[in-house]
Structure 1
Amino acid sequence: MQNTYTISYPEFEIHCIDKSDKDAILCNDIHAKILMLRYFSEGDYMKATGSFLSYRDLPWGEVYYRQFYGRCIMRLAKTYGNRQDVFKRLIEKLAGIRQKYGEVSYEFEVFRELKLCFILWSGDEEFPPSAQILFSDNFPMAFAAEDVAYLGDVILDYMKQEEFDI
C-alpha cells in the first residue's frame, strides 16, 4: 500500500521504512499483521498469469462468500458507489491502474505479484450501488479464503484512513 516495510523473523516485528510506525497501517492494524504472518509462514509465491478470480472461485470461497460479501463487497459499494471521484483519487494514490470493468474499476498490487481489482457501479433511484472485488489467479497459493476477507477489511480501512489526506 505504497509503503515499504521490514518484517523480522522469528519475532515478526513489522516496521515501516517510509513513515513512522504509528502512521503505517501494517504496524497498527491487527488484521494486517495477521495477514503478513500468514503470508510469510503459510503462503507460497507464484507468478500471476493475468487472469482474475472472484471470491467464490477461491478454494473454500463459496463457504465464506456471505461473510465476504457483507464485510467487503457491500462496504465497498456503500462507501464509494456514489462517491466514485473519491474512490478514483484513493485508488490512484495506491498506484491503481484503470480497467474497463463496470462504471469505474482499478487494478492494484497489495503484495508482490498479488493484485486486486475493485469494480464499482453507481446507484440510482431504482437500484443501490454495487461492487465486485476480483483477485489475481495466484491468490489461492498465498492465502486461504478466510484470510482474503481480512485483506478486504484492511484495504477498506486503509482507504477510509487515507480519505482525510486527499
Structure 2
Amino acid sequence: MPGGLTTMETSSESPWVFLYTLANRFEADVLSDVLEREGIPFFIRSFVETAYDGLFVPQRGWGQILVSARHLPAARKLIASVLESLASPSLYESLEDVDPSLWEEAARLDPEDVCRRALVHWDPHAAAYRIPFLSGSFRCLPQHRSIQAEPGLVSSRVDFQTGLVLLHYLLEARQVPPSGRWIGEKEIPSGHQFFTGPHAFPLQGIVELVADDAQRFAKASSMLGGIPVDAGDMAFQFLVLPRIPMRMIYWRGDDEFSPAVKLRFDATVSLHLPALDTLWAMVNLFVRHFKAAVKRI
C-alpha cells in the first residue's frame, strides 16, 4: 500500500475514487463505521499518519475516504445523511446516547488497576468508582450504566459528554505523572487541525461573564479548587481529573484588546485522553462548571 493509506476493508474492486475530505479522526471513525456496516468497500487515506502531515493536514484536511467507483452514489447519500445527523443539536445529549460498548468495557475493568492508573476510588459494595472532578466528584456505576453527581460539584448536570469523558478516563488513563510542561491545544498532536471551527473551545462564554472583573474570575476559580499561578494578568491551575491538571489564563481588556482567557494543558494530557473529541468534551464540562461557579458569586 502507498504511504499513509490504511485499509479499513479489503476488496478486489477498483478503481478507488474520492468520496469525502475528513476534518479529524472523529469523522473518520464515525463514517468508516457506517460504511462498513452498509458493506461499502472503502479506504481511509490519513495524512496525519504520514511523514508529510505538517504540510498536508493544514491544507488538505486530516485525510480522505475513497470508495469503489461502483458504490460512489450510494456512499454519497449515506454520508450526507450521517453528516446531517452529526450536525443536529438533538443528538448526543443524553447519558443514554453513550456507546454501550464503553459501559461494557468499563464494567470488565479490574478496579485495582483502574484506581492505580486513574487515581480514583472504588466502592466494592456499590460497584462504583468515585472520580474526583474539580472541587467535587462523580460516582460512576458501569454495571448499571449510571453516573451521579456528588455534593461539591457546582453543576449537577450529567449528560452525554459527562459519560464520554469519565468512561474514557477510566479506560485510558495511564500511570504517568504530570510533566510540568504546559502546552496549548494546537500543540497537542493533530490539535492544530481539530480544535477549530465547531471544535474550538467555547471560552467566549467565560469572557462574557467575567469581562473586566478579575476578582469575579478569581472567586469562581477558587470555588472550583483553582490554585493561583503566575501567567497573564491572572491565572489558576485546576485539577480537572486526577491525572489531568489544566491552567486557565486571564487577560484584562484595555483600549486595544478585549478581555480574553486561554487554556494550557500538561503535555501528558493526550496520554490520558488520547481522542481529541473526548478532550474537547472535557473542556466543555470545565466551561460548564466554571460558568456555574461565576453565576453563584
Provide closer, same or farther for how the CA distance between residues 27 and 73 of structure 1 changes in structure 2, counting only shifts above 3 A.
closer
CA distance in 2 between counterparts of 1:11 and 1:75 reads 34
Q: Does the aligned pair in 1 maintain the 2:243–2:272 contact within 8 Å?
A: no
Matched, 1:151 2:282: yes
1:113 partnered with 2:243: yes
CA distance in 1, matches of 2:256, 2:171: 47
- Aligned twin of 1:162: 293
- For 1:24 and 1:101, the matched residues in 2 are separated by 25
Shift of 1:27: 5.0
Bigger fraction of residues in helix: 1
Q: Which secondary structure state, in structure 1, belongs to the residue aligned with residue 290 of structure 2? A: helix
Structure showing greater radius of gyration is 2
Stretches of structure 1 lacking an aligned partner (at least 5 in a row): none
Match of 2:138 in 1: 5
Per-residue CA deviation, residues 16-63 of structure 1 (Å, 9 max, x unaligned), is: 3436xxx76465233122111221234434211222121011122111
**In structure 1, the residue corresponding to 2:177 is in which secondary structure?**
coil
AA matched with 1:160: K
- Are 1:38 and 2:178 matched, yes or no? no
How far has the Cα of 1:3 moved from its partner? 1.4
TM-score relative to the length of structure 2: 0.49
Alignment partners' CA distance in 2, 1:81 and 1:112: 30
The question of whether the paired residues in 1 share the 8 Å contact of 2:233 and 2:249 is answered with yes
| Within-5 A mapping of 1:62-141 | 62-67=192-197, 70-141=200-271
- Residue equivalent to 2:147: 14
Alpha-carbon distance in structure 1 between the residues aligned to 2:222 and 2:185: 23
Moved >6 Å (runs of 4+): none
Indicate conservation of the 8 Å contact 1:7/1:15, yes or no.
yes
Measure how far apart 1:151 and its partner are: 1.6
User: Comparing both chains, which one has the higher relative contact order based on Cα–Cα distances under 8 Å and sequence gaps of 6 or more?
Assistant: 1
Amino acid at match of 1:50: G
Structure 1 equivalent of residue 187 of structure 2? 57
CA contact (8 A) 1:108 1:116 kept: yes
Where 1:31 maps in the other structure, the secondary structure is helix
Residues 69-128 of structure 1, C-alpha deviations (whole Å, 9 max, x = no match): 843344444443522211100111112111111000000101112100000111123211
> What residue identity is the alignment partner of 1:133?
L
C-alpha contact 1:98 1:106 (8 A) present in aligned 2: yes
TM-score by length of 1: 0.83
**Cα 1:49–1:90 shift into 2, 3 Å:** same
